[in-house]
Structure 1
Amino acid sequence: MGYIPQASLENLKKYSYKGLDKSLLSKYVLNPFWTWFVTLWPLSIAPNTITLTGLMIVIINFATMLYYDPVYLTEKGGAVGPPQWLFFTWAVGLFLYQSLDAIDGKQARRTGMAGPLGEMFDHGCDALNTTLECLLTSYALNLGRSWWTIAAQIATLANFYLTTWEEYHTGILYLGVFSGPVEGIIMIVIIYICTGLFGPSFWDQRILTIAKLEHDPRFKNIPNVGLNEALMVFAGFGLALNIMNSYHNVRQASKRSGKSPLQALLLLLPFVVSAAIQVLWLSHPEFNHSAIINSATFVPFVGAWGLQFAHQVGRMILAHVTSTPFPRWDWIWIWSVLGAVDANLPHILGCPPIIQTSHKNTTIFVWLTLVVSFVTYARFCYLVINDITNYLGIACFTVRKRDEKGVWRHKDVPNGKQS
């Protein structure tokens, strides 16, 4: 008994990756570097190994944040501040992640391993990286535990969801002139470098104050926001632009296939619902005695949210490569719905919470949510990888070899079963 139905497995052989990158930075600067960089990797290294290596670098960056600032994960105060040189390692790590994420597809074509498994594995790692980098970037911008970080989480996850939703309906992975995987990552690298040079408090400076315009009457109606807040606003405009571009591409694809664009648009609701659940859980800390957004439970809460999102988009990508219906509901949300309803019982029924009756109980429940979310996503990854590798006769981290006839065969598959 496998995770993917037999009829859906048969669609894997029909899958073909299609991508369109309009980025000038990618075309003229980064892609020539990536084309050279991939030649440094032996053909014996599987593309998924390269992808996983990139994710592990980001996880190490995240671990160093917690190591050098344990208060961020253990006490209410938080943000005691790591050494500034650490932010340079984050910049290097993220740039390496981007480079490895870019060359895994090139390595797949070099080794004859391009296919649906690589698509699933690559997007799965990207989904995890999205939340980890959101927490690291918010930390570097001195936003810490705040609603600005929650807004950043929603914006980054929304961008990823939009791209996956767009690819499902168009069959093409579009990267625009300004995209998160290219320009967005380079911007974050620059943020890390600036934080390493000037410290996190640098981003708290007010824009008009820096420009010496705060007393100019011509700018009296313009909010004198911090640099970090201004970047968040900029990200909001970027999200709005991506929404319009993605909808335009999906609308055109729907018209060509004779389908209703409205039906595709409604499939954005699953993300809205999932994000609303998390916000509702956070929105009433005074009633559930948790103050999640101001406590050490903030990091595991956002981590659980990210894992649930990875499970959600993982099912979307699986639906894309197997040509199956778009997933509208994810059962893992039930756990967060329970937390949100329990926290809001004073509003709903006028009674105190049943589970989150104290800060200790809330902490236990949030950490339990993280564990359940991790196990659920890990199980999904294992079962899907197992089904795809068994059906196609390949391995996730082993490169196939050519036989005497020049046919690609996997060296670990019994009887040389072809993929």
Structure 2
Amino acid sequence: MLEKKALEGIAAYKYKAGSYTYLDNVLNHFWTYSVQFLPIWMAPNLVTMIGTGVMMFTTVVQLYYAPHFAETCPTWVYILSALGLFFYQTMDALDGKQARRTGASSPLGQLFDHGCDALCTVLNVLSAAATCQAGPGLLVHIALSSVSITFYLAQWEEYHTGVMSCGNGFFGVTEGQLVLVAVHLAAAFFGAGFWTTELSFLPVVSVTMTEVLLCTLVASNVLLAYGNVSNVLWAAADTIPREELGNKHISKPIALFQLIPIAILLVLGSLWICGPDADNYKNYPVLFLFPIGIGYVFLSTRMIVSHMCKVPFTPQLRVIIPFGFVILNAYGTAVGILSKPLIPTIVSSTLYVIFIVLVYLQFVFGVVKDICDFLNIFLFKIKPVVASADKLK
């Protein structure tokens, strides 16, 4: 999966963190205290995986009760979602501390951590949309895309500047996650109808709490995205030292070119849910939003790997072209290219879900295996340190 130069690049990788928010610094005391309760034998990546697994479980439970993002869930489901998200956030903060505590820090740890973060970003939006009873409309897709694209841009910025920036110093990932925790708790304690309440006091239009929340979510991510783009476009040409640059290609035109794949996914996803397949989307919204989200996750993960391995980022046509065929199958009759869809559109949608998930998993498993073999480490187990012969004498 990875070439030798990529493996050599990740072996020499060094992480540079961006700025922390006030809340990060406050919660750091809680995280530092909590890490001591983890068993010393627990691998940092296992900490990450447990948190991600809980996030996946709570999202599946919620979507079981609210498959159309419009149903009212039992109160305990909202509480479970809030606790699951807080638990994931905590474990996500503890994995790095556990790595330093056990002496098991490795480039694979950051790659695995950020890869899981990319996936959980999608799960968080889907879960929040279900809690807010947002319904299978365009706004949910816009919210999902805004959050996912902002995550991609954070990795894109790190690729070009060497520094990860997931916030503006005042509002970042931690604050966003706690807002979503509050969203779930509000539904639990005030009832699911809290988020569908209309704000009739507005003079011109009447909007619901859900619409205000999602529009605020989109607006905040647009501001964060603007910061990412500005940081890259205004960065000096020699921002990254030569020894850290590796085999990456850095320039303003290349940076802009790397935004094309994510823009194409946004356009194709919008065409998919707003066109001839709109009725299928309303009946099976998860069938549409999940593969769109996985497409974003795949591109973000590829960007993370490209940066850490110090290799060029490629457009990833293998997920874009098949998606294009799905759109062609749906729009073919409307634009006069086809007399009828080549296959039923719901079937093509289902096949694309299977395809994108398999491509994503194949990439993740392949990359993890290659890195583990090259660095001589395990993914979910701390490799014991073998004492040298001189020390045993």
Query: Given the two structures, how large is their TM-score scaled by the length of structure 2?
Result: 0.90
Deviation at 1:51, TM superposition (A): 0.6
Moved more, 32-41 or 239-248: 239-248
Deviation at 1:206, TM superposition (A): 2.5
1:292 matches 2:280: yes
- CA 1:180–1:331 in structure 2 vs 1: closer, same or farther (change >3 Å)? farther
Q: List alignment gaps of at least 5 residues for structure 1.
A: 215-219, 408-419
Deviation at 1:405, TM superposition (A): 5.7
Residue identity in the other structure for 1:230: V
8 Å CA contact 2:10–2:107 kept in 1: the answer is yes
Name the counterpart of 1:130.
121
Per the alignment, in what secondary structure is the counterpart of residue 113 of structure 2?
Answer: helix
- CA 1:60–1:193 in structure 2 vs 1: closer, same or farther (change >3 Å)? same
Deviation at 1:257, TM superposition (A): 4.0
Deviation at 1:229, TM superposition (A): 0.9
Alignment of 1:311-330 (within 5 A): 311-330=298-317
C-alpha distance in 1 between matches for 2:305 and 2:21: 27
1:216-238: CA deviation from partner (whole Å, max 9, x where unpaired): xxxx34x3321111112212221
One of 6, 9, 16 as aligned partner of 1:8? 6
1:96 matches 2:84: no
Deviation at 1:202, TM superposition (A): 1.3
Deviation at 1:131, TM superposition (A): 1.5
C-alpha distance in 1 between matches for 2:365 and 2:2: 12
Residue identity in the other structure for 2:274: S
1:37 matches 2:34: yes
8 Å CA contact 2:161–2:239 kept in 1: the answer is no
C-alpha distance in 2 between matches for 1:12 and 1:260: 21
1:95-153: CA deviation from partner (whole Å, max 9, x where unpaired): 00011111111111222222221122112111111221111101111102111111111
1:235 matches 2:233: no
- CA 1:260–1:365 in structure 2 vs 1: closer, same or farther (change >3 Å)? closer
Name the counterpart of 2:368.
385
1:226-268: CA deviation from partner (whole Å, max 9, x where unpaired): 1111112212221221122112322343444496434423322
Name the counterpart of 2:245.
none
Query: Given the two structures, how large is their TM-score scaled by the length of structure 1?
Result: 0.85
- CA 1:350–1:266 in structure 2 vs 1: closer, same or farther (change >3 Å)? closer
8 Å CA contact 2:153–2:225 kept in 1: the answer is yes
- CA 1:34–1:405 in structure 2 vs 1: closer, same or farther (change >3 Å)? farther
1:366-409: CA deviation from partner (whole Å, max 9, x where unpaired): 222111111111111111011000001001011123343699xx
C-alpha distance in 1 between matches for 2:80 and 2:387: 46
Alignment of 1:199-214 (within 5 A): 199-207=191-199, 209=200, 213-214=201-202
Name the counterpart of 1:85.
76
Deviation at 1:347, TM superposition (A): 3.8
- CA 1:103–1:406 in structure 2 vs 1: closer, same or farther (change >3 Å)? farther
1:376 matches 2:374: no
- CA 1:310–1:244 in structure 2 vs 1: closer, same or farther (change >3 Å)? closer
Alignment of 1:262-411 (within 5 A): 262-285=253-276, 291-296=279-284, 298-349=285-336, 351-356=338-343, 361-404=344-387
Name the counterpart of 2:45.
48
Q: List alignment gaps of at least 5 residues for structure 2.
A: 241-249
Per the alignment, in what secondary structure is the counterpart of residue 165 of structure 2?
Answer: strand
One of 116, 132, 146 as aligned partner of 2:107? 116
Matched-pair identity in %: 30
C-alpha distance in 1 between matches for 2:93 and 2:332: 47
State the superposition RMSD in angstroms. 2.2
Q: Could you list the runs of 4 or more consecutive aligned residues of structure 1 that deviate by over 6 angstroms after TM superposition?
A: none
Residue identity in the other structure for 1:197: F
8 Å CA contact 1:343–1:353 kept in 2: the answer is no
Residue identity in the other structure for 2:157: E
C-alpha distance in 1 between matches for 2:342 and 2:30: 53
Name the counterpart of 2:244.
none
- CA 1:46–1:183 in structure 2 vs 1: closer, same or farther (change >3 Å)? same
Name the counterpart of 1:68.
65
C-alpha distance in 2 between matches for 1:178 and 1:368: 42
- CA 1:402–1:227 in structure 2 vs 1: closer, same or farther (change >3 Å)? same
8 Å CA contact 1:254–1:261 kept in 2: the answer is no
